[in-house]
Chains A and B, each alone.
Chain A
Amino acid sequence: MSVRLRLRRGPGLRLDLRGITPAALAGLDAAAIERLPLAQGRGVLPLAEFFDVRVNGEADSLHFEGDLSRCDRIGWQLTGGRVVVEGSAGDHAGAGMTAGELHIHGDAGLLAACEMAGGQLVVDGNVGDFAASAQPGSLDGMRGGSFIVRGNAGARFGDRMRRGTVLVFGDAGDFFASRLVAGSIALGGRAGAHVGYGMRRGSLVFARVAPSVPATFVPAISQAPVIWQLLARDLARHGGPFAELPSRRVQRYLGDLAAGGKGELILIE
Protein backbone atom coordinates (compact mmCIF):
# COMPACT_ATOMS: atom_id res chain seq x y z
CA MET A 1 0.00 0.00 0.00
CA SER A 2 2.31 2.75 -1.13
CA VAL A 3 3.26 5.32 -3.69
CA ARG A 4 6.70 5.02 -5.30
CA LEU A 5 8.29 8.01 -6.99
CA ARG A 6 11.41 7.20 -8.99
CA LEU A 7 13.61 10.16 -9.88
CA ARG A 8 14.69 9.66 -13.47
CA ARG A 9 17.79 11.85 -13.32
CA GLY A 10 19.18 14.47 -10.98
CA PRO A 11 17.41 17.81 -11.62
CA GLY A 12 19.51 20.59 -13.11
CA LEU A 13 18.17 23.11 -10.62
CA ARG A 14 17.22 22.30 -7.05
CA LEU A 15 13.75 20.89 -6.78
CA ASP A 16 11.32 21.72 -3.97
CA LEU A 17 9.32 18.68 -2.80
CA ARG A 18 7.25 20.40 -0.12
CA GLY A 19 3.67 19.19 -0.10
CA ILE A 20 4.51 15.76 -1.46
CA THR A 21 3.43 13.80 1.64
CA PRO A 22 1.44 10.61 2.17
CA ALA A 23 -1.55 12.66 3.32
CA ALA A 24 -1.49 14.82 0.19
CA LEU A 25 -1.24 11.79 -2.09
CA ALA A 26 -3.93 9.76 -0.35
CA GLY A 27 -6.79 8.98 -2.69
CA LEU A 28 -5.01 10.25 -5.81
CA ASP A 29 -4.42 7.97 -8.78
CA ALA A 30 -1.15 7.92 -10.69
CA ALA A 31 -2.37 10.43 -13.27
CA ALA A 32 -3.38 12.92 -10.59
CA ILE A 33 -0.05 12.53 -8.81
CA GLU A 34 1.81 13.08 -12.08
CA ARG A 35 0.06 16.43 -12.49
CA LEU A 36 1.02 17.73 -9.02
CA PRO A 37 3.02 20.96 -9.31
CA LEU A 38 6.63 21.07 -8.14
CA ALA A 39 8.55 24.31 -7.73
CA GLN A 40 11.93 24.53 -9.40
CA GLY A 41 13.68 27.85 -9.38
CA ARG A 42 11.12 30.43 -10.51
CA GLY A 43 9.03 27.89 -12.41
CA VAL A 44 6.43 25.29 -11.57
CA LEU A 45 6.52 21.95 -13.36
CA PRO A 46 4.36 18.81 -13.12
CA LEU A 47 5.77 16.03 -11.01
CA ALA A 48 5.88 13.71 -14.02
CA GLU A 49 8.66 15.86 -15.50
CA PHE A 50 10.99 14.37 -12.87
CA PHE A 51 9.46 11.22 -11.43
CA ASP A 52 8.00 7.92 -12.60
CA VAL A 53 4.92 7.27 -10.46
CA ARG A 54 3.76 3.88 -9.28
CA VAL A 55 0.71 3.56 -7.02
CA ASN A 56 -0.13 0.46 -5.01
CA GLY A 57 -3.36 1.28 -3.21
CA GLU A 58 -3.81 4.08 -0.73
CA ALA A 59 -0.81 6.21 0.13
CA ASP A 60 0.03 5.69 3.77
CA SER A 61 3.64 5.33 2.78
CA LEU A 62 5.66 7.15 0.18
CA HIS A 63 8.94 5.91 -1.29
CA PHE A 64 11.42 7.98 -3.23
CA GLU A 65 13.94 6.16 -5.40
CA GLY A 66 17.14 7.60 -6.83
CA ASP A 67 19.61 10.24 -5.73
CA LEU A 68 17.48 13.07 -4.35
CA SER A 69 20.38 15.11 -3.00
CA ARG A 70 19.23 18.06 -5.12
CA CYS A 71 15.61 17.68 -3.92
CA ASP A 72 14.83 19.84 -0.90
CA ARG A 73 12.11 19.86 1.74
CA ILE A 74 11.31 16.15 1.63
CA GLY A 75 8.83 15.49 4.44
CA TRP A 76 8.45 19.23 5.01
CA GLN A 77 5.90 19.72 7.81
CA LEU A 78 5.00 16.05 7.64
CA THR A 79 1.92 15.32 9.77
CA GLY A 80 1.73 11.54 9.53
CA GLY A 81 2.43 8.46 7.50
CA ARG A 82 5.75 7.08 6.44
CA VAL A 83 8.18 8.53 3.92
CA VAL A 84 11.24 6.59 2.80
CA VAL A 85 14.05 8.01 0.67
CA GLU A 86 16.00 5.13 -0.83
CA GLY A 87 19.02 7.33 -1.44
CA SER A 88 20.18 10.74 -0.30
CA ALA A 89 17.99 13.77 0.38
CA GLY A 90 18.60 17.47 -0.12
CA ASP A 91 18.25 20.33 2.35
CA HIS A 92 15.49 20.83 4.94
CA ALA A 93 14.63 17.12 5.07
CA GLY A 94 11.96 16.57 7.71
CA ALA A 95 11.94 20.25 8.61
CA GLY A 96 8.96 21.21 10.73
CA MET A 97 7.55 17.70 10.78
CA THR A 98 5.07 17.11 13.60
CA ALA A 99 4.31 13.39 13.30
CA GLY A 100 4.95 10.39 11.13
CA GLU A 101 8.20 8.85 10.09
CA LEU A 102 10.85 9.89 7.60
CA HIS A 103 13.65 7.44 6.85
CA ILE A 104 16.53 8.53 4.60
CA HIS A 105 18.78 5.67 3.59
CA GLY A 106 21.55 7.97 2.34
CA ASP A 107 22.72 11.40 3.47
CA ALA A 108 20.71 14.53 4.18
CA GLY A 109 21.78 18.06 3.33
CA LEU A 110 21.64 21.23 5.41
CA LEU A 111 19.04 21.96 8.09
CA ALA A 112 17.71 18.42 8.37
CA ALA A 113 15.05 18.16 11.10
CA CYS A 114 15.19 21.89 11.68
CA GLU A 115 12.24 23.00 13.79
CA MET A 116 11.06 19.40 13.89
CA ALA A 117 8.27 19.07 16.49
CA GLY A 118 7.30 15.41 16.52
CA GLY A 119 7.53 12.07 14.82
CA GLN A 120 10.72 10.27 13.95
CA LEU A 121 13.45 11.11 11.46
CA VAL A 122 16.16 8.56 10.75
CA VAL A 123 19.14 9.32 8.50
CA ASP A 124 21.32 6.31 7.84
CA GLY A 125 24.11 8.45 6.36
CA ASN A 126 25.46 11.87 7.28
CA VAL A 127 23.68 15.17 7.82
CA GLY A 128 24.98 18.61 6.85
CA ASP A 129 25.32 21.71 8.99
CA PHE A 130 22.55 23.11 11.20
CA ALA A 131 20.65 19.84 11.56
CA ALA A 132 18.02 19.86 14.37
CA SER A 133 18.40 23.61 14.52
CA ALA A 134 16.23 26.62 13.65
CA GLN A 135 15.28 28.11 10.32
CA PRO A 136 17.53 31.07 9.54
CA GLY A 137 16.34 33.96 11.68
CA SER A 138 14.08 31.84 13.87
CA LEU A 139 14.57 31.73 17.64
CA ASP A 140 13.58 28.11 18.29
CA GLY A 141 15.16 25.01 16.83
CA MET A 142 13.99 21.44 17.01
CA ARG A 143 11.18 21.19 19.58
CA GLY A 144 10.11 17.56 19.76
CA GLY A 145 10.22 14.10 18.30
CA SER A 146 13.20 11.87 17.84
CA PHE A 147 15.99 12.30 15.32
CA ILE A 148 18.58 9.62 14.68
CA VAL A 149 21.68 10.12 12.56
CA ARG A 150 23.65 6.94 11.97
CA GLY A 151 26.51 8.74 10.27
CA ASN A 152 28.23 12.04 11.04
CA ALA A 153 26.79 15.50 11.59
CA GLY A 154 28.03 18.86 10.37
CA ALA A 155 28.63 22.02 12.35
CA ARG A 156 26.12 23.81 14.60
CA PHE A 157 24.18 20.62 15.17
CA GLY A 158 21.13 21.27 17.42
CA ASP A 159 21.54 25.03 17.39
CA ARG A 160 18.76 26.56 19.55
CA MET A 161 17.07 23.17 19.91
CA ARG A 162 14.63 23.20 22.82
CA ARG A 163 13.01 19.76 23.13
CA GLY A 164 13.24 16.25 21.74
CA THR A 165 15.76 13.47 21.66
CA VAL A 166 18.60 13.21 19.17
CA LEU A 167 21.24 10.54 18.66
CA VAL A 168 24.26 10.92 16.40
CA PHE A 169 26.14 7.64 16.02
CA GLY A 170 29.18 9.20 14.35
CA ASP A 171 31.12 12.44 14.80
CA ALA A 172 29.83 16.00 14.99
CA GLY A 173 31.32 19.25 13.76
CA ASP A 174 32.13 22.43 15.64
CA PHE A 175 29.65 24.21 17.91
CA PHE A 176 27.81 20.98 18.66
CA ALA A 177 24.53 21.92 20.46
CA SER A 178 25.31 25.61 20.40
CA ARG A 179 22.78 27.81 22.19
CA LEU A 180 20.83 24.70 23.15
CA VAL A 181 17.68 25.69 25.06
CA ALA A 182 16.83 22.17 26.26
CA GLY A 183 16.45 18.59 25.08
CA SER A 184 18.76 15.62 24.96
CA ILE A 185 21.50 14.92 22.42
CA ALA A 186 23.73 11.88 22.51
CA LEU A 187 26.87 11.61 20.42
CA GLY A 188 28.58 8.32 19.63
CA GLY A 189 31.73 9.71 18.04
CA ARG A 190 33.88 12.78 18.64
CA ALA A 191 32.74 16.38 18.69
CA GLY A 192 34.45 19.42 17.21
CA ALA A 193 35.40 22.56 19.12
CA HIS A 194 33.11 24.54 21.44
CA VAL A 195 30.56 21.91 22.47
CA GLY A 196 27.48 23.35 24.17
CA TYR A 197 28.47 26.91 23.32
CA GLY A 198 25.95 29.13 25.11
CA MET A 199 23.67 26.25 26.09
CA ARG A 200 21.01 27.16 28.68
CA ARG A 201 19.58 23.78 29.70
CA GLY A 202 19.51 20.27 28.27
CA SER A 203 21.76 17.26 28.35
CA LEU A 204 24.59 16.30 26.02
CA VAL A 205 25.81 12.72 26.30
CA PHE A 206 29.24 11.82 24.92
CA ALA A 207 29.03 8.05 24.76
CA ARG A 208 32.55 7.18 23.66
CA VAL A 209 34.88 10.15 23.24
CA ALA A 210 35.16 12.92 25.81
CA PRO A 211 35.06 16.34 24.17
CA SER A 212 37.23 19.27 25.10
CA VAL A 213 35.15 20.83 27.89
CA PRO A 214 34.87 24.60 27.45
CA ALA A 215 36.07 26.87 30.26
CA THR A 216 32.50 28.03 30.90
CA PHE A 217 31.49 24.62 32.31
CA VAL A 218 32.15 23.42 35.88
CA PRO A 219 32.52 19.81 37.03
CA ALA A 220 29.51 18.53 38.98
CA ILE A 221 30.47 17.23 42.42
CA SER A 222 27.21 15.36 42.93
CA GLN A 223 25.89 12.32 41.10
CA ALA A 224 22.56 12.16 39.30
CA PRO A 225 22.08 8.39 39.19
CA VAL A 226 18.31 8.35 38.79
CA ILE A 227 17.99 10.62 35.78
CA TRP A 228 21.10 9.03 34.25
CA GLN A 229 19.52 5.59 34.43
CA LEU A 230 16.28 6.86 32.91
CA LEU A 231 18.14 8.60 30.09
CA ALA A 232 20.76 5.87 29.52
CA ARG A 233 18.15 3.13 29.33
CA ASP A 234 16.21 5.08 26.74
CA LEU A 235 19.37 5.73 24.68
CA ALA A 236 20.52 2.11 25.00
CA ARG A 237 17.50 0.94 23.00
CA HIS A 238 19.19 2.33 19.93
CA GLY A 239 22.25 0.09 20.34
CA GLY A 240 25.59 0.90 18.75
CA PRO A 241 27.76 3.21 20.86
CA PHE A 242 24.84 3.72 23.26
CA ALA A 243 24.10 0.08 24.11
CA GLU A 244 26.33 -0.06 27.19
CA LEU A 245 25.42 3.32 28.67
CA PRO A 246 23.25 2.11 31.59
CA SER A 247 26.18 0.19 33.06
CA ARG A 248 28.68 3.05 32.72
CA ARG A 249 29.65 5.63 35.34
CA VAL A 250 29.55 9.22 34.26
CA GLN A 251 31.17 12.55 35.01
CA ARG A 252 28.96 15.58 34.52
CA TYR A 253 29.92 19.17 33.73
CA LEU A 254 27.40 21.94 34.32
CA GLY A 255 26.99 24.96 32.10
CA ASP A 256 27.19 27.00 30.01
CA LEU A 257 27.78 29.43 32.88
CA ALA A 258 27.56 32.24 30.35
CA ALA A 259 23.91 31.28 29.79
CA GLY A 260 22.61 30.31 33.25
CA GLY A 261 24.40 27.01 33.69
CA LYS A 262 21.42 24.67 33.95
CA GLY A 263 22.63 22.39 31.17
CA GLU A 264 24.92 19.41 31.54
CA LEU A 265 27.61 17.61 29.59
CA ILE A 266 27.63 13.92 30.48
CA LEU A 267 30.98 12.22 29.86
CA ILE A 268 31.52 8.49 30.26
CA GLU A 269 34.29 7.69 32.75
Chain B
Amino acid sequence: MVHNGVVIDDTFAEAFPMKATRLLITAHNMNWARHAAVSATGFATSVIACGCEAGIERELSPDETPDGRPGLSLLLFSMSGKELVKQIERRVGQCVLTCPTTAVFAGIADGEAVALGKNLRFFGDGWQTSKVIAGVRYWRVPVMDGEFVAQETTAVVKAVGGGNLLLLARDTDAALGAAEAAVAAMKRLPNVIMPFPGGVVRSGSKVGSKYAGLMASTNDAFCPGLYGLVAKSELTPEARCVLEIVIDGLTESDVAAAMRAGLDAAIESGAAAGLLRISAGNYGGKLGPYLFHLHRLMGAAPPAAQGEAV
Protein backbone atom coordinates (compact mmCIF):
# COMPACT_ATOMS: atom_id res chain seq x y z
CA MET B 1 0.00 0.00 0.00
CA VAL B 2 1.42 3.39 -1.04
CA HIS B 3 0.00 6.77 -0.04
CA ASN B 4 1.58 10.01 -1.29
CA GLY B 5 4.71 8.05 -2.10
CA VAL B 6 4.92 6.57 1.40
CA VAL B 7 4.88 2.77 1.69
CA ILE B 8 2.53 1.51 4.41
CA ASP B 9 3.74 -1.90 5.57
CA ASP B 10 1.31 -4.78 5.81
CA THR B 11 1.94 -5.19 9.51
CA PHE B 12 0.38 -4.32 12.82
CA ALA B 13 1.10 -2.70 16.15
CA GLU B 14 0.61 -4.95 19.16
CA ALA B 15 -0.76 -3.38 22.33
CA PHE B 16 -1.37 -4.52 25.87
CA PRO B 17 -3.95 -4.02 28.60
CA MET B 18 -3.01 -1.40 31.18
CA LYS B 19 -4.69 0.39 34.05
CA ALA B 20 -5.21 4.12 33.75
CA THR B 21 -6.62 7.16 35.46
CA ARG B 22 -7.16 10.77 34.52
CA LEU B 23 -6.31 13.59 36.92
CA LEU B 24 -7.32 17.23 36.60
CA ILE B 25 -4.86 19.74 38.00
CA THR B 26 -5.99 23.32 38.43
CA ALA B 27 -4.08 26.34 39.67
CA HIS B 28 -4.21 30.11 40.10
CA ASN B 29 -3.12 30.41 36.48
CA MET B 30 -2.16 28.10 33.63
CA ASN B 31 1.53 28.69 34.27
CA TRP B 32 1.43 27.03 37.69
CA ALA B 33 -0.96 24.32 36.58
CA ARG B 34 1.55 23.49 33.87
CA HIS B 35 4.47 23.44 36.30
CA ALA B 36 2.62 20.86 38.40
CA ALA B 37 1.48 18.82 35.40
CA VAL B 38 4.92 18.73 33.78
CA SER B 39 6.49 17.72 37.06
CA ALA B 40 3.88 15.05 37.82
CA THR B 41 4.23 13.49 34.37
CA GLY B 42 8.02 13.70 34.37
CA PHE B 43 10.14 10.55 34.17
CA ALA B 44 7.11 8.62 32.96
CA THR B 45 8.09 7.47 29.48
CA SER B 46 7.98 3.72 29.89
CA VAL B 47 6.71 1.28 32.49
CA ILE B 48 10.01 -0.59 32.11
CA ALA B 49 11.65 1.61 34.72
CA CYS B 50 9.38 4.57 35.45
CA GLY B 51 6.50 2.75 37.13
CA CYS B 52 4.00 4.42 34.87
CA GLU B 53 3.58 6.13 31.54
CA ALA B 54 2.04 9.55 31.87
CA GLY B 55 1.42 12.68 29.89
CA ILE B 56 -0.62 15.82 29.57
CA GLU B 57 -3.82 15.08 27.67
CA ARG B 58 -4.93 18.67 27.10
CA GLU B 59 -5.42 22.13 28.55
CA LEU B 60 -8.67 22.92 30.35
CA SER B 61 -10.26 26.35 30.26
CA PRO B 62 -11.73 27.74 33.50
CA ASP B 63 -15.26 26.75 32.50
CA GLU B 64 -14.19 23.11 32.15
CA THR B 65 -12.71 22.66 35.64
CA PRO B 66 -14.52 21.90 38.90
CA ASP B 67 -13.23 25.04 40.61
CA GLY B 68 -13.39 27.50 37.73
CA ARG B 69 -9.63 27.92 37.43
CA PRO B 70 -7.43 27.05 34.46
CA GLY B 71 -6.01 23.55 34.50
CA LEU B 72 -4.70 20.54 32.66
CA SER B 73 -5.83 16.96 32.37
CA LEU B 74 -3.26 14.20 32.78
CA LEU B 75 -3.44 10.52 31.93
CA LEU B 76 -1.41 7.96 33.88
CA PHE B 77 -1.00 4.34 32.76
CA SER B 78 0.51 1.40 34.64
CA MET B 79 0.73 -2.33 34.10
CA SER B 80 -1.24 -3.01 37.31
CA GLY B 81 -3.75 -1.16 39.43
CA LYS B 82 -1.51 -1.57 42.46
CA GLU B 83 1.47 0.08 40.78
CA LEU B 84 -0.76 2.86 39.48
CA VAL B 85 -2.01 3.62 42.98
CA LYS B 86 1.59 3.91 44.15
CA GLN B 87 2.51 6.19 41.29
CA ILE B 88 -0.53 8.44 41.83
CA GLU B 89 0.32 8.92 45.48
CA ARG B 90 4.01 9.62 44.83
CA ARG B 91 3.52 11.92 41.89
CA VAL B 92 0.61 13.90 43.31
CA GLY B 93 2.28 14.03 46.71
CA GLN B 94 5.62 15.27 45.44
CA CYS B 95 4.64 17.26 42.37
CA VAL B 96 1.12 18.63 42.88
CA LEU B 97 0.79 19.02 46.65
CA THR B 98 4.10 20.86 46.54
CA CYS B 99 3.28 23.19 43.65
CA PRO B 100 1.89 26.63 44.59
CA THR B 101 -1.90 27.15 44.35
CA THR B 102 -2.73 23.78 42.79
CA ALA B 103 -5.71 21.54 43.44
CA VAL B 104 -6.28 18.04 42.08
CA PHE B 105 -9.47 16.29 41.02
CA ALA B 106 -10.45 12.95 39.50
CA GLY B 107 -10.96 13.16 35.77
CA ILE B 108 -12.87 9.89 35.46
CA ALA B 109 -16.00 9.22 37.48
CA ASP B 110 -16.72 5.56 36.78
CA GLY B 111 -14.29 2.84 37.72
CA GLU B 112 -12.57 1.37 40.73
CA ALA B 113 -12.00 4.18 43.24
CA VAL B 114 -8.42 4.49 44.45
CA ALA B 115 -6.79 6.95 46.81
CA LEU B 116 -5.99 10.43 45.50
CA GLY B 117 -6.11 12.81 48.45
CA LYS B 118 -7.12 10.04 50.84
CA ASN B 119 -3.62 9.38 52.15
CA LEU B 120 -2.00 12.70 51.25
CA ARG B 121 -4.34 14.33 53.75
CA PHE B 122 -2.16 13.16 56.62
CA PHE B 123 0.35 15.81 55.60
CA GLY B 124 -2.09 18.11 57.40
CA ASP B 125 -0.95 16.67 60.74
CA GLY B 126 -4.46 16.71 62.16
CA TRP B 127 -5.43 20.10 60.74
CA GLN B 128 -6.80 18.55 57.56
CA THR B 129 -10.56 18.67 57.14
CA SER B 130 -12.83 16.98 54.67
CA LYS B 131 -15.79 18.43 52.85
CA VAL B 132 -18.43 16.36 51.06
CA ILE B 133 -19.95 18.37 48.23
CA ALA B 134 -22.62 16.84 46.00
CA GLY B 135 -21.66 13.39 47.24
CA VAL B 136 -17.94 13.79 46.53
CA ARG B 137 -15.41 14.01 49.36
CA TYR B 138 -12.58 16.49 49.16
CA TRP B 139 -9.68 16.92 51.55
CA ARG B 140 -8.42 20.33 52.59
CA VAL B 141 -4.82 20.29 53.74
CA PRO B 142 -3.37 23.48 55.23
CA VAL B 143 -0.19 24.55 53.39
CA MET B 144 1.89 27.72 53.40
CA ASP B 145 0.00 29.43 50.55
CA GLY B 146 -3.45 28.59 51.94
CA GLU B 147 -4.85 25.13 51.50
CA PHE B 148 -4.34 22.21 49.14
CA VAL B 149 -7.64 20.70 47.99
CA ALA B 150 -7.65 17.16 46.66
CA GLN B 151 -10.54 14.91 45.78
CA GLU B 152 -10.46 11.85 48.02
CA THR B 153 -10.38 9.26 45.24
CA THR B 154 -9.92 8.89 41.53
CA ALA B 155 -11.22 6.10 39.33
CA VAL B 156 -8.99 3.49 37.71
CA VAL B 157 -10.16 2.02 34.42
CA LYS B 158 -8.88 -0.59 32.00
CA ALA B 159 -6.84 0.92 29.19
CA VAL B 160 -4.65 0.07 26.23
CA GLY B 161 -0.92 0.76 26.06
CA GLY B 162 1.67 0.32 23.39
CA GLY B 163 0.01 1.36 20.15
CA ASN B 164 2.82 2.54 17.88
CA LEU B 165 4.00 3.75 14.51
CA LEU B 166 7.51 3.40 13.07
CA LEU B 167 8.46 6.20 10.70
CA LEU B 168 11.27 5.28 8.29
CA ALA B 169 12.79 8.33 6.65
CA ARG B 170 15.56 9.43 4.36
CA ASP B 171 17.39 11.39 7.06
CA THR B 172 17.12 12.91 10.53
CA ASP B 173 15.31 16.07 9.41
CA ALA B 174 12.73 14.10 7.47
CA ALA B 175 12.11 11.66 10.32
CA LEU B 176 11.79 14.43 12.92
CA GLY B 177 9.47 16.40 10.66
CA ALA B 178 7.15 13.46 10.06
CA ALA B 179 7.18 12.45 13.73
CA GLU B 180 6.47 15.98 14.94
CA ALA B 181 3.55 16.31 12.53
CA ALA B 182 2.15 12.94 13.60
CA VAL B 183 2.47 13.73 17.31
CA ALA B 184 0.82 17.14 16.83
CA ALA B 185 -2.12 15.45 15.10
CA MET B 186 -2.44 12.81 17.81
CA LYS B 187 -2.33 15.41 20.57
CA ARG B 188 -5.52 16.94 19.23
CA LEU B 189 -7.40 13.74 20.13
CA PRO B 190 -8.86 12.99 23.56
CA ASN B 191 -8.06 9.99 25.78
CA VAL B 192 -4.51 9.39 24.49
CA ILE B 193 -0.98 10.34 25.46
CA MET B 194 2.35 9.84 23.75
CA PRO B 195 4.56 9.25 26.78
CA PHE B 196 8.05 9.59 25.29
CA PRO B 197 10.01 12.87 25.07
CA GLY B 198 8.13 15.04 22.61
CA GLY B 199 5.97 11.99 21.96
CA VAL B 200 8.80 10.31 20.04
CA VAL B 201 11.17 7.45 20.90
CA ARG B 202 14.33 6.55 19.01
CA SER B 203 15.27 3.52 21.06
CA GLY B 204 12.68 1.05 19.84
CA SER B 205 13.25 -2.31 21.47
CA LYS B 206 12.87 -5.99 20.76
CA VAL B 207 12.09 -8.64 23.33
CA GLY B 208 15.16 -10.30 24.90
CA SER B 209 18.89 -9.79 24.63
CA LYS B 210 22.11 -11.69 24.30
CA TYR B 211 22.69 -10.76 27.94
CA ALA B 212 20.90 -12.93 30.46
CA GLY B 213 18.57 -10.91 32.65
CA LEU B 214 18.05 -8.10 30.14
CA MET B 215 14.43 -8.34 29.05
CA ALA B 216 14.58 -5.90 26.17
CA SER B 217 17.29 -4.59 23.91
CA THR B 218 17.75 -2.43 20.84
CA ASN B 219 15.55 -3.24 17.85
CA ASP B 220 18.53 -4.10 15.60
CA ALA B 221 16.34 -4.84 12.58
CA PHE B 222 15.43 -1.14 12.45
CA CYS B 223 18.87 0.31 13.34
CA PRO B 224 20.38 1.97 10.24
CA GLY B 225 23.82 1.63 11.78
CA LEU B 226 23.46 -2.14 11.69
CA TYR B 227 22.26 -2.38 8.09
CA GLY B 228 24.42 -4.96 6.36
CA LEU B 229 25.68 -6.26 9.70
CA VAL B 230 22.68 -7.97 11.23
CA ALA B 231 21.32 -11.16 9.75
CA LYS B 232 17.94 -9.66 8.99
CA SER B 233 17.40 -5.94 8.66
CA GLU B 234 13.97 -4.40 8.05
CA LEU B 235 15.60 -1.42 6.36
CA THR B 236 16.59 -0.48 2.87
CA PRO B 237 19.76 1.54 2.20
CA GLU B 238 17.66 4.72 1.71
CA ALA B 239 16.12 4.54 5.19
CA ARG B 240 18.77 6.14 7.35
CA CYS B 241 16.67 7.31 10.29
CA VAL B 242 13.77 5.59 12.07
CA LEU B 243 11.62 7.09 14.82
CA GLU B 244 8.77 5.52 16.75
CA ILE B 245 5.66 7.04 18.30
CA VAL B 246 4.11 5.11 21.19
CA ILE B 247 0.47 5.71 22.10
CA ASP B 248 -1.39 4.85 25.30
CA GLY B 249 -5.16 5.31 25.27
CA LEU B 250 -8.15 4.70 27.45
CA THR B 251 -9.76 2.37 24.91
CA GLU B 252 -8.75 0.38 21.84
CA SER B 253 -10.67 2.75 19.58
CA ASP B 254 -8.89 5.77 21.10
CA VAL B 255 -5.52 4.23 20.24
CA ALA B 256 -6.74 3.32 16.77
CA ALA B 257 -8.01 6.84 16.18
CA ALA B 258 -4.68 8.32 17.29
CA MET B 259 -2.72 5.94 15.05
CA ARG B 260 -4.92 6.86 12.12
CA ALA B 261 -4.45 10.59 12.81
CA GLY B 262 -0.69 10.06 13.02
CA LEU B 263 -0.65 8.08 9.79
CA ASP B 264 -2.60 10.79 7.98
CA ALA B 265 -0.35 13.57 9.25
CA ALA B 266 2.85 11.73 8.37
CA ILE B 267 1.56 10.76 4.93
CA GLU B 268 0.55 14.33 4.23
CA SER B 269 4.18 15.47 4.23
CA GLY B 270 4.84 12.43 2.07
CA ALA B 271 7.78 11.08 0.15
CA ALA B 272 8.64 14.57 -1.07
CA ALA B 273 9.57 15.52 2.50
CA GLY B 274 11.70 12.41 2.86
CA LEU B 275 9.36 9.96 4.58
CA LEU B 276 9.79 6.56 2.94
CA ARG B 277 7.84 4.00 4.89
CA ILE B 278 5.52 3.58 7.86
CA SER B 279 5.68 0.36 9.83
CA ALA B 280 4.70 -0.79 13.31
CA GLY B 281 6.22 -2.78 16.14
CA ASN B 282 4.87 -6.12 17.27
CA TYR B 283 5.87 -9.37 18.88
CA GLY B 284 4.34 -11.68 16.33
CA GLY B 285 0.83 -11.01 17.55
CA LYS B 286 0.97 -13.66 20.23
CA LEU B 287 1.57 -11.51 23.31
CA GLY B 288 -0.77 -8.55 23.13
CA PRO B 289 -4.56 -8.89 22.82
CA TYR B 290 -4.85 -5.69 20.77
CA LEU B 291 -3.62 -5.72 17.17
CA PHE B 292 -3.73 -2.53 15.08
CA HIS B 293 -3.23 -3.42 11.40
CA LEU B 294 -1.97 -0.41 9.48
CA HIS B 295 -3.79 -1.32 6.28
CA ARG B 296 -7.06 -1.70 8.15
CA LEU B 297 -6.53 1.60 9.95
CA MET B 298 -6.06 3.26 6.56
CA GLY B 299 -9.34 1.77 5.39
CA ALA B 300 -12.55 3.42 6.38
CA ALA B 301 -13.67 0.49 8.50
CA PRO B 302 -14.59 1.49 12.04
CA PRO B 303 -12.47 0.14 14.90
CA ALA B 304 -13.46 -3.39 15.91
CA ALA B 305 -14.44 -4.52 19.38
CA GLN B 306 -11.88 -5.33 22.04
CA GLY B 307 -9.81 -8.44 21.47
CA GLU B 308 -10.30 -8.41 17.74
CA ALA B 309 -7.82 -7.20 15.20
CA VAL B 310 -8.39 -3.66 14.05
A interface residues (Cβ-Cβ under 8 A, vs B): 163-165, 182-184, 201, 203, 222-227, 229-231, 233-234, 246, 262
Contact = CB atoms under 8 A, between A and B. Distances in A.
B133 A234 contact: yes
Contacts of A183: 132
Indicate the size class of the contact surface on chain B.
10 to 19
B138 A227 contact: yes
A59 to B, nearest CB: 27
B67 A225 contact: yes
A143 to B, nearest CB: 11
B140 A224 contact: yes
A234 B68 CA distance: 13
B131 A230 contact: yes
Given A222-B147, A224-B146, A226-B26, A163 B68 contact: no
Nearest to A235: B133
Interface string B139-153: 010000011010000
Mostly, the B contact residues are strand
Given A222-B146, A222-B147, A227 B68 contact: no
A223 B130 CA distance: 17
Given A234-B134, A246-B68, A226 B129 contact: no
Interface of B: 26, 66-69, 103, 127, 129-134, 138, 140, 146-147, 149
A50 B284 CA distance: 79
Contacts of B133: 165, 184, 230-231, 234
* 8 shortest interchain CB distances as A-B pairs: A226-B149, A229-B67, A226-B103, A222-B146, A226-B67, A234-B134, A234-B133, A230-B133
B75 to A, nearest CB: 22
A244 B205 CA distance: 57
Given A184-B131, A224-B140, A230 B147 contact: no
A233 B136 CA distance: 13
A164 B67 CA distance: 20
B131 A203 contact: yes
Contacts of A165: 132-134
B125 to A, nearest CB: 13
Contacts of B132: 163-165, 183-184
Nearest to B134: A234
Given A203-B131, A262-B127, 15 more contacts: A163-B132, A182-B130, A184-B131, A222-B146, A224-B140, A226-B26, A226-B147, A227-B138, A227-B140, A227-B147, A229-B66, A229-B67, A229-B69, A230-B133, A231-B131
Given A230-B138, A234-B133, A262-B129, A224 B147 contact: yes
Given A234-B133, A262-B129, A229 B146 contact: no
B131 A227 contact: yes
A230 B149 contact: yes
Quick one: which of A164, A184, A223, A229 has the most chain B CB within 10 A? Answer: A229
Contacts of B129: 182, 201, 262
7 contacts: A225-B146, A226-B103, A227-B140, A229-B69, A234-B133, A234-B134, A262-B129
Contacts of A230: 66-67, 131, 133, 138, 149
B131 A226 contact: no
Nearest to B148: A226
Contacts of A233: 68
